[in-house]
Structure 1
Amino acid sequence: MPTNTPLATQIVTVCFDAGADADWFAASEKVNDLLNANGTPARRFHVRHRAIIGWLSRFFGYYLLDAARRFGAITLAAGGRKSRLDLTGTAAKAAHQASQRWRAFNAHIATTTRPARAWEDFLAQHHADPAKVSLAEARRRFEQQPRILAMLAYAHGHTFDPYELAAYQAGEATYAGLHWRIAIIGDALITTDDRLLEPASDSMADKFRFLNEACTYLRGLNSSARICAITIA
């Protein structure tokens, strides 16, 4: 998994065939085997409630993993049977929040600063000549740009990740599209047959390629398949 972008934690979505042993311990074992990392459940999926018995289903955690409750009703889960997870609702909420964040960026950052070079450009300098441009120096050059400093300094209800600059500068639809995909996939995906899907590099283009592949895979899973989101440090 690419590690040059400074992320505190990463999310891995683990997939299981219907009927498989699919608790979060089994998911953690897969993560440990493929990524040599330990993880904990990440409650990030909204839960679907059936129309006919929707009121009752709010209170029962069947086919769910590590469900969270509010006033007794289930609101979020770390995973479970695909048919019980509201992946569309999860994506829609993430897209809405990303759109609000992008509009704040556009109003307060884009209108007051010149376009900046994305992190990937400076990372390429480091990879081309590590002896001349260390990773720390590449990061210093990137973060000293006025637009990046403005993003880091902004403190009015939104937090802007400067390492997503390429997506911010590509427009609202691109930025929202990035985040609704991340909401249901995370940073990597492990398939039912233990293949690891992840970005080929830290570039935004490779991240989109990975997310598109992972979303297509997840969409193609049987409704009885199980998925589990794991947070790794």
Structure 2
Amino acid sequence: MPKPTPLTDQVVTVCFNPDADADWFAASEKVSHLLDAHGTPARRFRVRHRKLIGWLTRFLGYYLLDAARTFGAITLAAGGRKSRLDLPGMSMTAANDAIARWRAWNIHINATTKPARVWEDFLAQYHADPAKVTLAEARRRFEQQPRVLAMLAYAGGHVFDPYELSLYQAGEATYAGLYWRTALIGDALITTDGRIMRPASDSLADRFRFLNDACMYLRGLNNRARLCAVAIA
């Protein structure tokens, strides 16, 4: 099985039991010890405001980590108690953004160009015989396809990553499904008992397996458990 790529320029979600020390230093130590990496807090969690006292909780940073404010009101945080984080809202926003992007791709690219071979096919050619097909040549062959060129040339309100072509061609639900899961989890997750959950390889199938397992784990955590997002540089 291919070895996963190193965690660089990625986000790790660190989980803590309700009674554990769950500040930034504790999260940093876990990441350093388990992944041999260093990072900074990532303000990626939306904050939940209760309906009855939302006007008050909007300004209180209790049970939150590295909270950010807009006009005095808390909007984002690097982590905190699970019950204070708006996980459903995060997943819904990410799904809606991804759906809008996929539908634009479907109209402007899918409807006007023929299906193309995905990047993974050309990468396999390179791995099979690097002397015959260099990485640069594999990239050139992939990017010269009309559909890929159309994605690169598109100048509308969205950016279409041609290296996500396999994900685009898998359909709207699959495309959005990867993005709403990633919004919740990031690229790896450290459990409360110190286990590392991450994709077994860079393949989309392995990413989905990891995200499905991580989302199930996150759903099962006590609402008083705490989360912290760490961006690894």
Pairwise same-fold verdict (TM > 0.5): yes
C-alpha distance in structure 1 between counterparts of 2:170 and 2:24, whole Å: 37
Aligned to 1:170: 170
> Is it true that 1:115 corresponds to 2:111 in the alignment?
no
Q: Report how many residues are paired.
A: 231
**Structure 2, gaps ≥5 residues long:** none
Letter in 2 for 1:74: I
3-state SS of the aligned residue for 1:97?
helix
- Residue 131 (structure 1) shift: 3.9
**Structure 1, gaps ≥5 residues long:** none
TM-score norm. by structure 1 comes to: 0.92
C-alpha distance in structure 1 between counterparts of 2:24 and 2:131, whole Å: 42
3-state SS of the aligned residue for 1:156?
coil
C-alpha distance in structure 2 between counterparts of 1:135 and 1:117, whole Å: 16
C-alpha distance in structure 1 between counterparts of 2:34 and 2:197, whole Å: 11
- Residue 184 (structure 1) shift: 0.3
3-state SS of the aligned residue for 1:12?
strand
C-alpha distance in structure 2 between counterparts of 1:200 and 1:156, whole Å: 35
Aligned to 1:60: 60
Q: Where in structure 2 are the equivalents of 1:103-182 lying within 5 Å?
A: 103-182=103-182
C-alpha distance in structure 2 between counterparts of 1:169 and 1:199, whole Å: 21
With 166-175 and 154-163 compared, the bigger mean Cα shift is at: 154-163
- Residue 172 (structure 1) shift: 0.9
3-state SS of the aligned residue for 1:115?
coil
- Residue 126 (structure 1) shift: 3.0
- Residue 3 (structure 1) shift: 3.0
C-alpha distance in structure 2 between counterparts of 1:137 and 1:35, whole Å: 33
Q: Where in structure 2 are the equivalents of 1:39-118 lying within 5 Å?
A: 39-118=39-118
Aligned to 2:206: 206
**1:97-138 per-position Cα deviation (integer Å, ceiling 9, x unaligned):** 001100111111112221122222223233333444344443
- Residue 41 (structure 1) shift: 1.3
C-alpha distance in structure 2 between counterparts of 1:29 and 1:140, whole Å: 42
**1:156-205 per-position Cα deviation (integer Å, ceiling 9, x unaligned):** 22111222211111111111111100100111111111111111111111
Distance 1:138 1:35, change over 3 A: farther
**1:35-56 per-position Cα deviation (integer Å, ceiling 9, x unaligned):** 2222111111111111221110
Calculate the aligned-residue CA RMSD, in Å: 1.9
C-alpha distance in structure 1 between counterparts of 2:30 and 2:138, whole Å: 34
C-alpha distance in structure 2 between counterparts of 1:79 and 1:120, whole Å: 35
Report if the CA contact (8 A) 1:95-1:179 is conserved: yes
Aligned to 2:194: 194
Distance 1:116 1:13, change over 3 A: same
